Structure 1
Amino acid sequence: MFNIPCYVTTVCCRQPCGKFLPCRIHTCQRSCHSGSCQSFDQKCIQKCTIQRRKCGHSCNLSCHGDDPCPITTCQTIIKLRCPCDSLEKDGICNIKSNEFNEEKNNICDVKTSPFIEEDYDFNLTSRIEALKIQIENSLLTRKQQQQQQLECNDECRVIQENKSFTQAFSMNIDEPRQLPNIYTDFLIDYAKNNFEFVQICQVTRRLLQFYTFPPMEFNERHLLRELASFYDGIIHMLHDAHAATFRFGSGSIACV
C-alpha cells in the first residue's frame, strides 16, 4: 500500500473504472471512482459499436442498449476510388439497409441455427432459403458499392495508355533507364549524308512488325545491320547478297 496523506478523503488508483453501465453494452470510461458510474436518469452517450449488416462499418449512433440498431444511412468516411484505382478521395459510405432486408437478415440468423437431424427436410429448406437471402444481400451490397465508385477521367486514360505501352514494350518505368550505346562512326557519317533512309528505317520499325527491303547496296545493308545492333533481341539473316527481311517488334529490330 502507498502512503496516503491524512488530508486525502478519497483514494483513487487512476485506472479506468471498466464496470458495465446500465445499458449492459458499454463500460465506464471514468477513472477509478466511488459510487455509481452514472446517475439514475443519465443515459449512456457512447457510440454503438455493433457492425452494420450491409457495409460492415460500426453503427456509430448513440447507445440504444439492447434495442435493434435503427435503420439509418452509414456516415462512415471511406476511400472512394475509380475502377482503375488511379483516383482516390474521401467520401461517405451512404449504404443503407431497408426494413425488408433487415427482416430477412433476422430470418438468416434464425435459420442458421444448429442442424437438427429429426427435422431434416425443414432444416435443409431453411438453410437453402437463408443462403439465397445472403447471396441477394451480397449482390445488393456490391451494387451499392459500385455505384459509389468515382468515374475515370482523362488523367486515368493517360495512365492506362502509359501502362499498356510499358507492358507492350516490356519496360519498367520505375527502373532507371540506361544511357544508349555510342553510335559508330559509320552510322554517324552515313546518317549525315543519307538521313532520309535512316528516318525511313526508324518509322518502319515503329509501325510494322515485318518489312522486306528491296535490293540494297552494301552500305545500306551494313547500315541496317549496325542500326539493328542498338536494339535488343536481334536475329539477323540475309536471304541473299542484296535483299533482307526485317522483323520489328517489342522495341527491337530483327533482321531475318
Structure 2
Amino acid sequence: MRSNIPCYLKDVSCGKPCEKNLSCGVHRCPRICHPGECIAEGEECRQPCSVMREACGHSCGLPCHGKTDCPQSSCASQVQVSCGCGRKSAKMCCSEVDKTNAKAQAARAIDAKASNGSVVILERQDSADRYKCLPCDSECSRAQRNRKLAMALELDRDDDNACPTPGEPTYTDFLRTQAKTNPPLVLDVENALIQLVQSTESQRTNTTRNHVFRPMVADMRRLIHEYAAYFRVETLSYDPEPQRNVVASAKRGQSFVPNTLLSSFIPKTVPKIAPPPQKSAWGTTSETKEKFASSAIPAEGMQTLTSATTVVRRLPPVD
C-alpha cells in the first residue's frame, strides 16, 4: 500500500519487481510493477535459458524455448585458459576449448608416432587440465629449465622470470557450487592441501609428502580430486565402500598454492547489527527510563503532591 498518491495519477506502481509467472512456464516477469499484461499479445518470452549443459556445466543461454529440450548449440560462455605451466593466460570461448584440446592431443600423438613408431592412446583430461589448452613457448621452456636447475642446486630464487608463476585458476562449476552449498568441507580440504604443499616445500630430505583424508562419499571425493588438481597434487582413492578414502601426494618444486583459492567463492554473510537507540522528545531510551523511574508512584499508594510556594488556607465566609 502507498499513501499520499495524487488523485490525478492513474497507474501507480509499488516500485518492486513484478515476478509473475510468464506463459513460458519457466521464467518470471523481470519488469517493475506495471499495469496490464507482462508480455504483449503476440510476443514470446526472450529471456536466456538457464538450464545447465551436461558437457561443460554452463547455462544454455539460448532464447527461452519453454520446457522443451535445449537444442544442440555451441556454448558461447567466455572462460579463462592458460598454458600447461600457467605462465600464459587468455580468454576463450568455451566451445573452442575442446577443439583446441583435441588438436593439441592429435599433434602430440602424431609426434610420438613419428619419433618411435608406437601408437599413443589419448587419455581423458582432468577438469582442471581442460582449461590448460594454450601451447607453451620458448619462454616457458627457459623458465622450466631455470626452475629445475634451482631445484637441483637447492637454491631459493625470487626472480619472477626464473620460475613460471601460475595464472588465475578457472574453477569448474561443480567446485563453485560446492563452495556455496558446502563451505565447511571446502575449507577443510583447502587447509589440508595448503598445509601439505607448504610442508613439502619446507622439507629438504624428501621430495614427496602424502596426506590421507578420512573416508567420504563419492561427491566429497570428487571435490578433493578436482580441487587437488589446481594445486598440482596427485590423488588416488583406496579401499572399498563405505571406507573408501583419498590419499593426496605433493611433490616439492611441482605442487603450489593457487593465486585464487576456492574459498573466495564462499558467500560472505553480513552480520546483523542492532540499531542504535532512537532519539525522542524525552531523550534517549536510557534517559527516558531514568525520568520515569524518578517520577514513579510509590508502592504504598498515591504520590503526595507538594507545592514550591507558600500555601494560604482560606477561611469559609461568615454569615
Q: TM-score, normalised by structure 1?
A: 0.47
Compare CA radii of gyration and give the structure with the larger one.
1
Q: Which has the higher helix share?
A: 1
TM-score (norm 2): 0.38
